[in-house]
Chains A and B, each alone.
Chain A
């Protein structure tokens, strides 16, 4: 699934490890999400959206 996680993360100047710590997953999980190899669960998607202060639809797009 296409997503804007990397774009939002880099805009804040965070490393993958920094984001991983903030959403309580491993750095590998952040990398897998950013590269589209892992689609996060609804719970994790909500956590990511809240962290970036936006909605899930603004970050994840299953039709791109």
Chain B
């Protein structure tokens, strides 16, 4: 990637603001698109895709999955191009902690459920737990 000239006539602070805007745009556009898709899905199903009553049509499920994967890919590409190495490292740590949280909690919950110590836990709850661990770690690394 071509780096800007450090001695360019544009003040550094202005370039920093432009850079920050690029990062926000990379995060906000796919986010807004995802919210729009989820809203449309909610209107069509009469509820959230994860709690909607009745069975979801297979064609709908496939199209939904492709759209979500596409938005995620585009968002990841834009975001990767916009961030710097310190944020990249914060994301790597966040993802690592999220991965370990998901694996560990899955093993623990599965074992406890099989032994009938606890009631079965929704996979969405466990995904949210891993996501929360990931976000907290990312924020700590990024802004500590």
Contact = CB atoms under 8 A, between A and B. Distances in A.
Interface of A: 14-15, 17-29, 32-33, 37-38, 40-41, 44, 47, 50-51
Given A17-B17, A25-B86, A29-B86, 12 more contacts: A14-B12, A15-B13, A18-B16, A20-B19, A21-B17, A22-B7, A22-B15, A25-B85, A26-B87, A27-B16, A29-B85, A33-B86
Given A19-B12, A21-B13, A26 B86 contact: yes
A4 B40 CA distance: 53
Interface in B1-23: 3-4, 6-7, 10-20, 23
A21 B15 CA distance: 5
Contacts, number: 68
Contacts of A41: 85
A47 B3 contact: yes
